[in-house]
């Protein structure tokens, strides 16, 4: 049994803790590795290393930082396959999906490579007679990222390239369920020439999270995960005077109008609902069928759902892998059972699926539920699994009200061939990321990423211009050079 250790000051280290947690291969249900769980003292060691590195890294030239980020980006390209296989083996998603995750994360590095342009300040000549004003941005110091299991490479990549490009140093506390990708990325940074201590990884559970939130040497915390933990992190971090951005959970609705191309809509809803076994914050978990769209849509959805091939993520013919843990598998199957008990119609039942040769894997099949109502748990709770709930409404306005009444506001989509409907939808839904005939409207790295309402606690989304703002402070300088 090997142990995944922390990465502090450019080297793997066990730190002071004897605590570990098992890491599973979800396709087999077996564990051959474990991850070290940090104590408060280990976080302190990482902060000391990062604070020391900050002294020189914050003074490094923009061209030196760009050079390291370019090299890092190239290494991510060269090692994409290796990284994708590491992700798939601990998360369960298909290798192809994991490749997509690394590519999306890499785009943030590409954005950060433009730091010379991004960090330009502004200058106002002659604001008063003989007086000029200019501004510039400076890094905060040691920043930390606390990240979820579902994108073990991409979500941290939303954060650290931007923090590092802007002159900060970084401590990543990844999910303890799939921790290996973080160490792999740390080694690539070292190979790219990043000085020791600029990027560190501390593995752990709540003890490590609390130590980060309380530590006076950490200036800012970026969090992505479930809403209850996002609220906790935001409250505790800001109480300690830190900047905190905290992205939470989701319940994303895909609205289908009767005038939409139903085949197209169903195909994309299937990908958005069941891709990565529904373990995506941008997954569509509610299909809102408007008026006469409902019956034909359900028919196509059923047909396509039954065609999904479930299997281990490293099999190239697999469409959908297992869930991340046995607990997640049980939670999802219980949600389907509860939905049926509360009156939903089960059109496709994914419960109890066994995959030959992988009988102990954490598999469940895709489930499709019809006649789901807003009172049911299947509508109210984030199931975070391959369950698509269909809610029927009569009009687009009813669909918009439904979305706006939901506490989450991460992503949403509308399928329609009518421009007026699309425009009304995008203007009136209280959601941060909207797709028009695009089911998963994930913005590009040069836009920011973040939802509204309970999907984003605090006011700062990640990456893009908002990421630059989050990891820097502005100075405004007013200058006069009087004549002698």
Q: Does 102 bind ligand NAD (CB under 6 A)?
A: no
Nearer to ligand NAD, 38 or 294 (CB): 38
Q: Does 381 bind ligand NAD (CB under 6 A)?
A: no
Strands 452-453 and 456-457: unpaired
Identify the DSSP state of 320.
B
Q: Which of 39, 90, 176, 319 binds ligand NAD (CB under 6 A)?
A: 176
* # of chain residues touching ligand NAD (CB under 6 A): 27
**Segment near ligand NAD (CB under 6 A), from 123-131, 149-157, 415-423, 463-471?**
149-157
Place of tokens 């905060």: 140
Nearer to ligand NAD, 148 or 365 (CB): 148
Q: Least Å distance between CB 105 and ligand NAD?
A: 12
Please give the Cα distance from 372 to 355 (Å, whole number): 29
Q: Least Å distance between CB 219 and ligand NAD?
A: 19
Q: Least Å distance between CB 474 and ligand NAD?
A: 26
Q: Does 205 bind ligand NAD (CB under 6 A)?
A: yes
Q: Which of 20, 88, 150, 183 binds ligand NAD (CB under 6 A)?
A: 150
Place of tokens 């939409």: 260
**Segment near ligand NAD (CB under 6 A), from 126-134, 242-250, 338-346, 352-360?**
242-250
Q: Least Å distance between CB 149 and ligand NAD?
A: 4
Q: Does 170 bind ligand NAD (CB under 6 A)?
A: no
Please give the Cα distance from 36 to 331 (Å, whole number): 26
Nearer to ligand NAD, 137 or 231 (CB): 231
Strands 252-256 and 411-415: parallel
Quick one: CA dihedral 241, 245, 250, 254, positive or negative?
positive
Place of tokens 């000029």: 132
Three-class secondary structure of residue 12 per DSSP: strand
Nearer to ligand NAD, 171 or 293 (CB): 171
Nearer to ligand NAD, 116 or 465 (CB): 465
Q: Does 387 bind ligand NAD (CB under 6 A)?
A: no
Q: Which of 54, 149, 274, 362 binds ligand NAD (CB under 6 A)?
A: 149
Place of tokens 């590095």: 109
**Segment near ligand NAD (CB under 6 A), from 97-105, 143-151, 180-188, 256-264?**
143-151
- Footprint (CB under 6 A) of ligand NAD, residues 389-428: 410
Please give the Cα distance from 43 to 97 (Å, whole number): 32
**Segment near ligand NAD (CB under 6 A), from 80-88, 134-142, 145-153, 366-374?**
145-153
221 to 240: interface string for ligand NAD, x by CB under 6 A: ---xxx--x-----------
Strands 20-25 and 11-13: unpaired
Query: Looking at the DSSP assignment, which residues form a beta bridge with residue 101?
Result: none
- Burial of 418-449, coded b for 16+ CB within 10 Å and e otherwise, reads eeebbebbeeebebbbbbeeebbbeeebeebb
Please give the Cα distance from 124 to 355 (Å, whole number): 66
Structure tokens at 248: 């939470």
- Footprint (CB under 6 A) of ligand NAD, residues 286-345: none
Q: Does 370 bind ligand NAD (CB under 6 A)?
A: no
- Find the catalytic residue in 37, 281, 376, 440: 281
Please give the Cα distance from 354 to 361 (Å, whole number): 8
Q: Does 155 bind ligand NAD (CB under 6 A)?
A: yes
- The question of whether 281 is a catalytic residue gets the answer yes
CA-nearest of 227, 72, 54, 209 to 144 is 209
Q: Which of 167, 249, 278, 313 binds ligand NAD (CB under 6 A)?
A: 249
Q: Distance from first CA to last CA of the chain, Å, rounded? A: 76
Q: Which of 120, 206, 303, 354 binds ligand NAD (CB under 6 A)?
A: 206
CA distances to 167, 298, 311, 313, 325 from 354, rounded to whole Å, are 50, 25, 9, 15, 15
Q: Least Å distance between CB 183 and ligand NAD?
A: 15
Q: Which region, left, alpha or beta, applies to residue 226 given φ > 0 means left and ψ of -120 to 50 means alpha?
A: beta
Is the separation of the CB atoms in 342 and 281 below 8 Å?
A: no
**Residue of closest CB approach to ligand NAD:** 225
Burial class (CB in 10 A: 0-12, 13-18, 19+), 43: buried
Nearer to ligand NAD, 34 or 67 (CB): 34
Q: At what angle do helices 95-112 and 154-165 cross, to 10 degrees?
A: 10
What is Dmax (Cα atoms) for the chain?
Answer: 88
Q: At what angle do helices 40-57 and 206-214 cross, to 10 degrees?
A: 50
Q: Which of 27, 68, 181, 209 binds ligand NAD (CB under 6 A)?
A: 209
Please give the Cα distance from 159 to 174 (Å, whole number): 12
Q: Least Å distance between CB 150 and ligand NAD?
A: 5
Nearer to ligand NAD, 228 or 357 (CB): 228
- Footprint (CB under 6 A) of ligand NAD, residues 447-476: 451, 455
**Catalytic positions, please?**
281
Q: Which residues here bind ligand NAD, judged by CB under 6 A?
A: 146-151, 155, 173, 175-176, 205-206, 209, 224-226, 229, 247-250, 281, 382, 384, 410, 451, 455
């Amino acid at each position: 049994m090997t142990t995944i250790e922390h990465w502090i000051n450019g080297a793997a280290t066990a730190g002071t803790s004897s605590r570990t947690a098992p890491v599973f291969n979800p396709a087999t249900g077996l564990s051959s590795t474990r991850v070290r769980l940090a104590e408060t003292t280990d976080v302190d060691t990482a902060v000391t290393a990062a604070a020391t590195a900050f002294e020189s890294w914050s003074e490094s030239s923009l061209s030196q930082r760009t050079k390291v980020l370019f090299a890092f980006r190239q290494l991510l390209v060269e090692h994409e396959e290796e990284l994708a296989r590491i992700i798939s083996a601990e998360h369960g998603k298909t290798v192809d999906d994991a490749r997509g995750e690394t590519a999306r994360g890499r785009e943030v590095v590409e954005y950060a490579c433009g730091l010379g342009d991004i960090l330009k300040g502004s200058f106002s000549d002659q604001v008063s007679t003989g007086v000029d004003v200019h501004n510039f941005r400076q890094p905060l110091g040691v920043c930390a990222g606390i990240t979820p299991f579902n994108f073990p490479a991409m979500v941290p990549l939303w954060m650290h390239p931007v923090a590092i490009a802007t002159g900060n140093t970084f401590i990543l506390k990844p999910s303890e369920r799939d921790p290996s990708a973080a160490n792999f990325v740390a080694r690539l940074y070292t190979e790219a020439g990043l000085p020791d201590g600029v990027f560190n990884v501390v593995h752990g559970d709540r003890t490590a999270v609390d130590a980060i939130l309380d530590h006076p040497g950490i200036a800012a915390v970026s969090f992505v995960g479930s809403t209850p933990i996002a609220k906790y992190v935001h409250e505790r971090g800001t109480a300690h005077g830190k900047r905190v951005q905290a992205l939470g959970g989701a319940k994303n609705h895909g609205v289908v109008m009767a005038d939409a191309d139903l085949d197209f809509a169903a195909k994309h809803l299937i990908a958005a609902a069941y891709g990565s076994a529904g373990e995506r914050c941008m997954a569509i978990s509610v299909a809102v069928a408007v008026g006469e769209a409902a019956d034909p849509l359900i028919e196509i959805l059923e047909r396509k759902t039954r065609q999904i091939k479930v299997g281990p993520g490293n099999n190239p013919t697999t469409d959908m892998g297992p869930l991340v843990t046995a607990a997640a598998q049980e939670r999802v199957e219980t949600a389907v059972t509860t939905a049926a008990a509360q009156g939903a119609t089960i059109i496709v039942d994914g419960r109890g699926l066994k995959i030959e040769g992988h009988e102990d894997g954490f598999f469940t099949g895709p489930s499709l539920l019809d006649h789901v109502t807003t009172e049911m748990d299947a509508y109210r709770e984030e199931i975070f699994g391959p369950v698509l709930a269909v809610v029927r409404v009569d009009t687009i306005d009813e669909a918009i009200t439904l979305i706006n009444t939901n506490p989450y506001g991460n992503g949403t989509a509308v399928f329609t061939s009518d421009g007026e409907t699309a425009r009304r939808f995008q203007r009136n839904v209280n959601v941060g990321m909207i797709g028009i005939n695009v089911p998963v409207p994930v913005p590009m790295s040069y836009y920011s990423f973040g939802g509204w309402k309970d999907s984003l606690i605090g006011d700062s989304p990640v990456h893009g211009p908002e990421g630059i703002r989050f990891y820097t402070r502005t100075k405004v300088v007013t200058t006069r050079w009087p004549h002698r």
